[in-house]
Amino acid sequence: MSLIIESVSKRFGDVQALEDISLEIKPGEVFGLLGANGAGKTTAMRIVLDILRPDSGTIAWNGRFNRDLPRETWGYLPEERGLYAKMNVLEQLVFFAKLHGVRSKVAEREARGWLERFRIPEYADRRAEQLSKGNQQKIQFIAAILHDPQVLLMDEPFTGLDPVNVALLKEAFLEIKERGKTLIFSTHQMETVEELCESIAIVDRGRVVVSGSVRDVRRSGGRQMVRLAVEGDPEMAWLAELDGVRVTRRGQDYTEMQVTSGHNPEVVLHAALGRDLKVTHFEIADPSLEQIFIEHVGQIDTTERTLAPKVPA
Amino acid sequence: MKGWRTLFPNAWYVAVREYRARARTRSFVVGTGLLALIAFAATQLPVLIDYSMTTSQTRIAVVAEAAGMPSDSLAVLDGQLNGQAADTNAHKAFVLSWLSAGDDAAAQKDLEKGTYDVLLIVARDAATNDLGFTVRTDIPQDGSAVASITHALLSLEIDDRLFRAGTSTAALTAPFSLTIGPANATSAGTNSISHQVSADLLSTGLIMLIFMAIITYGQWVAMSVAEEKGSRVMELMLNATTPLQMLAGKVLGNGAAGLTQYGIILAAVVGGLLAQGQIHKAVLGTSSGAPFGGMDPTVLGAFAVLFVLGFLMYSLLYAALGSLVSRQEDVQSAATPLTMLVMTGYLMSVFGLQAIDESWVKIASFVPFFSPYLMLARVSVGHVEMWEFGLSALMLLISVGIALFVAARIYSAGVLLYGQRVSLRQIFLAIRVSR
């Protein structure tokens, strides 16, 4: 009883967009899809939604193939935001809900409720083109969830929102999760993932590099991070003598180092105490997702490697 | 394609949205109003023509210097020049002033002042005893007014010669028997120039209506598809509907908007034609001929069938082409091949009406891309068998089905392709892998 993506491959001409992707996403989970631009996140979502057909592989939700599922199973917030510019906000929300089989009256009530919650009730009767981009994005989010879908897929839902609206959207996420819905979203903002997601998958060039619960992924490298601060020895040159320890960051507050698997991180503490240093901070942690990501993908790639040529702005 | 089973109600919702979006635009409202106004004005054209004819009058001064002219000379001239209007109170195109002999000098002055347009001096030739005429005027000598006058003078000359030969004026104007009927004596209908002209106008008009509808409203469909792609609403729509639902909704919605515009224009035309008699009477004091003389229910029925089927087929293809471009500006160029096809069919019908029994016209009237025009042309002329029309309509219907299938394929592939130009190869690739 979950969303099972099994050995999905998809090729566009010369580009292998997805290569043998397999994932299992549990119901009621918040799942993060991490990857650089062009890694295949959007294609994966479109295939799950049955907007695109994979070259091979299957997608099943609760034991039924996605081709046999009614469309209202899914809610989708596409990466490319768009609304009917000349149509008023409430009308288009009701229109999209009706397409998913929601009755007009219910749709209107729900839509007004969500506009209220996003603090934009006065926009109900405005045309979409009169709204700011951030507000249009909120309208699109409402359009994606108005029919109460079982699985909500969102492509970069947070980009372009100010901190206040990011917080509002996160609240909405949690409420939808509490209703027992499954949320899947793609992003390259690691903090958001660590804050919201229970499970993640890191995708690179059409392949799943690593996936699982956030904890498992962070421990996937077998390394641990140690943060240490002592009085009177900011250099801590002796750290270089320790086996399996590599300093990754020197800061005013603390020095961060990586301890390779098989070595006990407490060695660092013992070494410090053995040198009669006064330890003010000692912390053992898993590597951050960002470190894992960089480790697997190389670096956070900002250059576009998008498959379909984009329309110049 | 699971969309086939679940076309409604989503296609209906899409259609309603399309219709509203289209009918609310300023260009639609203003355009419809303007076209209706033009159409109404056009129906009043006969009134205008009649009116302009009544305001032009040719004033003729006749100086009868000849002696012994028949007593009904003035009546003969009047009758010849003004026809039926001579006996009634209706407007006369020619006004005659009969002056006595010797008034020619005064009349010449009046002519130069512009009181008269024409000065006609009638004298008798001393040698032959025939009437001789002198016409002085500045109106065009090869114009219809001078031609009418020449014709009337010929009658007057003959009248005078017969009178001198001893025939009484009563005998000259005695009524005679004349019957005019249709070529087939049992045929009930009477033919008239206005009847024939309005029948011709109707068939070319109806063909033009089909042509305009396909060109205009077909492009609307393509525009609305490209607009959704351009604004990226398409991505939301793709999850909410199937391509087939979207396609059907768009064609129905835009078609309905087009039909609304047509309905309003047609109402203006019908209203104008109905009011034409009244307006004619109000302006000119006489009523005009029956305006609906040329309308044949068979032609109108054929028009309805061919219009709907032709529009459906073409607008489905327009939608498919619209799905291949990313911006509205590119719609025109993408649609050019189809527009050329539409134009070709129309031009064929223009020439086809002149050569309705040629075999190429017959063949083309069965080809689905051209049959909306050419079959209608053949029906309007009446040179067509029932089975021929049925076969043509059936083939058009089948083509609509094929167009729906092909368009849905291209559409579902095209809407996800973003780029400046989409190659044929890409389309075929996409069609193959799309749902």
Taking only the tens place, the pLDDT of each residue in B406-415 is 888 888 877 7
Alpha-helical (H) ranges within B166-242 are 169-172, 193-230, 233-240
pLDDT band at B171 (very low <50, low <70, confident <90, very high): confident
Q: Residues of A with CB below 8 A from B242's CB?
A: 71
Pair A54, A125 in one domain = yes
User: Which SS3 state, helix, strand or coil, does residue A254 take?
Assistant: coil
Pair A244, A132 in one domain = no
Is residue A300 in some structural domain?
Answer: no
Pair A94, A72 in one domain = yes
Distance CA B405, CA B420 (A): 25
Q: Is the link from the previous residue into A287 a cis peptide, with omega within 30 of 0?
A: no
Residue B13 has its nearest CB partner, among A83, A95, A308, at A95
Pair A203, A174 in one domain = yes
Distance CA B192, CA B198 (A): 10
Taking only the tens place, the pLDDT of each residue in A7-17 is 999 988 788 88
Question: Cβ of B7 under 8 Å from any chain A Cβ?
Answer: no
Put simply, the chain A residues between 240 and 269 with a CB less than 8 A from any chain B CB are none
Residue B327 has its nearest CB partner, among A55, A80, A311, at A311
Is residue A273 in some structural domain?
Answer: yes
Residue B81: predicted pLDDT: 83
Pair A207, A162 in one domain = yes
The mean pLDDT of B207-220, rounded to a whole number, is 87
Pair A133, A260 in one domain = no
- Report ipTM (2 d.p.): 0.77
Question: Can you give the CATH number for the domain in which A162 is found?
Answer: 3.40.50.300
Is residue A247 in some structural domain?
Answer: yes
Residue A308 has its nearest CB partner, among B14, B418, B433, at B418
Residue A53 has its nearest CB partner, among B236, B417, B434, at B434
Is residue A296 in some structural domain?
Answer: no
User: Which SS3 state, helix, strand or coil, does residue A170 take?
Assistant: helix
Taking only the tens place, the pLDDT of each residue in B96-124 is 888 887 777 888 888 888 888 899 988 88
- The chain-wide mean pLDDT, for chain B, equals 81
Question: Cβ of A304 under 8 Å from any chain B Cβ?
Answer: no
CATH architecture of B54-172: 3-Layer(aba) Sandwich (3.40)
- Torsion sign across C-alpha atoms A107, A112, A117, A118: positive
Taking only the tens place, the pLDDT of each residue in A194-224 is 889 999 999 988 899 889 888 888 888 778 8
pLDDT over 60 (residue A303): no
How is residue A55 written in tokens?
């070259």
Pair A25, A133 in one domain = yes
User: What is the nearest CA distance from B188 to chain A, expressed in angstroms?
Assistant: 58
- Picking from A292-306, B163-177, B259-273, B367-381, which range would have the lowest pLDDT averaged per residue? A292-306
Question: Can you give the CATH number for the domain in which A264 is found?
Answer: 3.30.70
Question: CATH 3.40.190 occupies which residues in chain B?
Answer: 54-172
Distance CA A139, CA A124 (A): 10
pLDDT over 80 (residue A99): yes
**Is there a contact between B236 and A13 if contact means CB atoms under 8 Å apart?**
no
Residue B180: predicted pLDDT: 79
Longest dimension (CA), chain A: 74
Taking only the tens place, the pLDDT of each residue in A170-182 is 999 899 999 999 9
Pair A124, A32 in one domain = yes
Is residue A292 in some structural domain?
Answer: no
User: What is the nearest CA distance from A246 to chain B, expressed in angstroms?
Assistant: 47
Is residue A107 in some structural domain?
Answer: yes
Cα→Cα distances B171→A36, A154, A202, A290, Å: 110, 103, 115, 121
pLDDT over 50 (residue A311): no
Q: Residues of A with CB below 8 A from B429's CB?
A: 13
Residue B64: predicted pLDDT: 85
Residue B420: predicted pLDDT: 47
How many residues in chain B? 435
CA nearest to A88, candidates A126, A138, A137, A118: A126
Residue A203 phi, psi dihedral angles, 5° rounding: -110, 135
Give the nearest chain A residue to B428 (CA atoms).
Answer: A13
Pair A19, A52 in one domain = yes
pLDDT over 70 (residue B190): no
The mean pLDDT of B57-71, rounded to a whole number, is 84
Residue A115: predicted pLDDT: 94
Q: Residues of A with CB below 8 A from B326's CB?
A: 311
HEC letters along B135-187: EEECCCCCCHHHHHHHHHHHHHHHHHHHHHHCCCHHHHCCCCCCCCCCCCCCC
**Is there a contact between B416 and A143 if contact means CB atoms under 8 Å apart?**
no
User: Which SS3 state, helix, strand or coil, does residue B290 take?
Assistant: coil
The mean pLDDT of A262-277, rounded to a whole number, is 85
Listed residues A218, A234, A263: the one ending a domain: A218
Domain that includes residue A227, residue range: 222-286
Q: Let me know the angle formed at the C-alpha of B30 by B29 and B33, rounded to the nearest 5 degrees.
A: 85
Pair A141, A232 in one domain = no
Instruction: Record the pTM.
Output: 0.73
Q: Residues of A with CB below 8 A from B238's CB?
A: 49, 51
Is residue A304 in some structural domain?
Answer: no
**Is there a contact between B24 and A51 if contact means CB atoms under 8 Å apart?**
no
User: Which SS3 state, helix, strand or coil, does residue A153 take?
Assistant: strand
Give the nearest chain A residue to B426 (CA atoms).
Answer: A13
pLDDT over 70 (residue A309): no
Pair A91, A171 in one domain = yes
Residue found by looking up tokens 């009523």 in the block? B287
- Picking from B205-214, B278-287, B366-375, which range would have the lowest pLDDT averaged per residue? B278-287
Q: Which of B16, B235, B434 to mutate to test the interface with A (most CBs of A within 10 A)?
A: B235
Is residue A131 in some structural domain?
Answer: yes
Q: Residues of B with CB below 8 A from A95's CB?
A: 13, 17
Helices and strands (DSSP H and E) totals, chain B: 16, 4
User: Which SS3 state, helix, strand or coil, does residue B36 take?
Assistant: helix
Residue A310 has its nearest CB partner, among B25, B240, B418, at B418
Pair A65, A205 in one domain = yes
Number of structural domains (chain A) is 2
The one-letter amino acid code at A17 reads A
Listed residues A218, A236, A259: the one ending a domain: A218
Question: Cβ of B326 under 8 Å from any chain A Cβ?
Answer: yes
Q: Residues of A with CB below 8 A from B231's CB?
A: 82-85
Residue B79: predicted pLDDT: 82
